[in-house]
Amino acid sequence: MSEILCRGLVRIYATDGVEVQALQGLDLRLEAGELVAVVGASGSGKSTLLGILSGLDTPTGGSAVVAGTDLLTMSGRDRVRYQRHAVGFVWQQTSRNLLPYLTAAQNVRLVLDLGWSPRRARAARVTEMLDLLGVADLADRRPAEMSGGQQQRVAIAVAVANRPRVLLADEPTGELDEATSVEVLEALRSVNEATGVTTLIVTHDPSVSEHVARTVQIRDGRTSTEVLRRTETDEQGVERHVAEEFAVLDRVGRLQLPTDFVAALDLRERVRLALEPDHVQVRPDLAQKDEDR
Ligand SMILES: Nc1ncnc2c1ncn2[C@@H]1O[C@H](COP(=O)(O)OP(=O)(O)OP(=O)(O)O)[C@@H](O)[C@H]1O
C-alpha cells in the first residue's frame, strides 16, 4: 500500500504578476515502510514538496495522499489531526525541533502528552524512544548541552514518539559536519527499520544515496531519475552494493534525459526517436544541425 502518493503535483507561486511553477507535475510514490531520499539542487522544488507533504502548504493541482489523508481536500480540523498524529517532522534547524528550556526527556514527554497514548505508558515510551536513538544518557540535558548530532537524534525520538505513519526530514544534516551527518542518517535508517515508519528525507546532498535503498532526484519541479541500491552476493558469498540509475517516466510518457547525455550528443530542440524491439533510440536531428550551420 502506498503511504505517500503524489500524482501530477503542481504548485504555482504568483508574486507581482509573475508566475513561478515550483512543481510541474511531480509524481512520487512511497510504499509503507520505505526509506527514500529526495535529492535536488537549489530551486528544484524540494522545500515546496515538503511544505505540501507536511500540510503547511496546499498544491495548485494534481493529487497528494499521505497516510490515507487527501492533502488537497482535507478540512482545517483534518489538517491539525494530520500534522499532530499522521506525520512526524525533523527540520534542518536543530532549534526548530526541540524546545530549548526542556530536557531531552521532557521534549519527548511533551509530544506524548499532546498525543493519544495512555498516560501510564508515557514514561516508559520516553525511555524506549531515547534508547532507540542511543541518547538515553542525555535524558536530563537541555538542547544547548548537546552536540548538533545529538540534538537531531533527540529530534527524531520526538518525531516518532507518537507513532506517526510517516516521518518527513527536511535537510536533517544541513547544519552538521560529514561524520555527524552519517550518524544522523544511520539513526534515521535504524528508526525506519525498528518501527516501520515510512521515511522521506529531503536534501541537496547527493551522498545521502549511500545510506538509503532508493534515491529520487528532482529537477525543475519533477522527479527525473531514481537510483536504486541493493546488495548482491556472488558465488563466493562476497556481498557487494550495486547502485543502478533509472529515468522516471511519468504517466503521460514524458521523461527527462540526463543533462550529460544531452550535452554529449549536443541534443537540441528536436530529436529523432525510433522504436526498436527492446528499447527506444534517441538521436540528434541531423537536418536541424545542417540548418544551424
Ligand atoms: N513563496 C514563493 N514565492 C515565489 N516563488 C517561490 C516561493 N517559494 C519558492 N519559490 C520558487 O519556486 C522554485 C522552487 O523553490 P523551492 O524552495 O521549493 O526549491 P528548493 O529545491 O527547496 O531549493 P533550496 O534547496 O534552495 O531550498 C524556485 O524557483 C523558487 O524561487
| Mean pLDDT calculated for residue range 31-55 | 92
Percent of the chain exceeding pLDDT 70 equals: 98
Q: How far is the CA of 53 from the centre of ligand 1 (A)?
A: 15
Residue 86 lies in a domain: yes
| Mean pLDDT calculated for residue range 80-96 | 87
Q: How far is the CA of 23 from the centre of ligand 1 (A)?
A: 9
Q: Which pLDDT tens digit goes with each residue over 243-288?
A: 788 888 877 888 888 888 888 998 888 899 999 999 999 999 877 6
264 and 212 both lie in a single domain: no
Res. 124: pLDDT tops 90 = yes
Lowest-pLDDT range of 47-61, 74-88, 220-234: 220-234
Nearest-10 crossing angle of helices 148-160, 104-114 = 20
154 and 111 both lie in a single domain: yes
Residue 63 lies in a domain: no
183 and 121 both lie in a single domain: yes
Res. 11: pLDDT tops 90 = yes
Q: How far is the CA of 47 from the centre of ligand 1 (A)?
A: 7
Lowest-pLDDT range of 74-78, 136-140, 252-256: 252-256
Residue 167 lies in a domain: yes
Q: How far is the CA of 45 from the centre of ligand 1 (A)?
A: 6
pLDDT band at 20 (very low <50, low <70, confident <90, very high): confident
267 and 141 both lie in a single domain: no
Contacts of 92 (CB under 8 A, 6+ apart): 170, 171, 172, 174, 175
**Cα–Cα separations (whole angstroms), residue 222 to 43, 111, 256, 264:** 12, 34, 9, 23
| Mean pLDDT calculated for residue range 31-41 | 93
Q: What atom of ligand 1 comes closest to residue 51's alpha carbon? A: 18
Residue 253 lies in a domain: no
Choose between 194 and 238: higher pLDDT: 194
What's the CATH number where 103 sits?
3.40.50.300
Contacts of 52 (CB under 8 A, 6+ apart): 9, 11, 23, 58, 59, 64, 71
Amino acid occupying residue 215: T
| Mean pLDDT calculated for residue range 73-97 | 88
86 and 156 both lie in a single domain: yes
Lowest-pLDDT range of 9-18, 122-131, 186-195, 225-234: 225-234
Alpha helix positions (H), 115-246: 122-132, 148-160, 178-195
Q: Whose alpha carbon is nearest atom 29 of ligand 1?
A: 43
Task: For residue 180, give its domain range.
Answer: 33-46+73-247
137 and 199 both lie in a single domain: yes
Three-state secondary-structure class, residue 120: helix
Cα(first)–Cα(last) distance of the chain, in Å? 54
Alpha helix positions (H), 69-177: 76-81, 94-97, 104-114, 122-132, 148-160
143 and 184 both lie in a single domain: yes
pLDDT score of 225 = 80
pLDDT band at 293 (very low <50, low <70, confident <90, very high): low
Q: Whose alpha carbon is nearest atom 7 of ligand 1?
A: 13
186 and 279 both lie in a single domain: no
| Mean pLDDT calculated for residue range 206-213 | 84
pLDDT score of 292 = 65
234 and 263 both lie in a single domain: no
Task: Tell the residue number behind the cell numbers 551527518, with chain if given.
Answer: 181
Residues with CB under 6 A from ligand 1: 13, 15, 20, 22, 40, 42-48, 204
Q: How far is the CA of 76 from the centre of ligand 1 (A)?
A: 25
Residue 208 lies in a domain: yes
pLDDT score of 84 = 85
100 and 127 both lie in a single domain: yes
| Mean pLDDT calculated for residue range 150-177 | 92
How many structural domains are present in the chain? 2
- The residue among 13, 2, 15, 160 whose CA lies nearest residue 90 is 160
Q: How many helices (H) and strands (E) does the chain have?
A: 9, 13
216 and 278 both lie in a single domain: no
Do 133 and 187 form a contact (C-beta atoms < 8 A)? yes
Name beta bridge partners: 59: none
pLDDT score of 186 = 92
Res. 289: pLDDT tops 90 = no
Res. 203: pLDDT tops 70 = yes
Res. 290: pLDDT tops 90 = no
152 and 284 both lie in a single domain: no
pLDDT score of 23 = 92
pLDDT score of 176 = 81
Average pLDDT, the chain: 89
Do 62 and 8 form a contact (C-beta atoms < 8 A)? yes
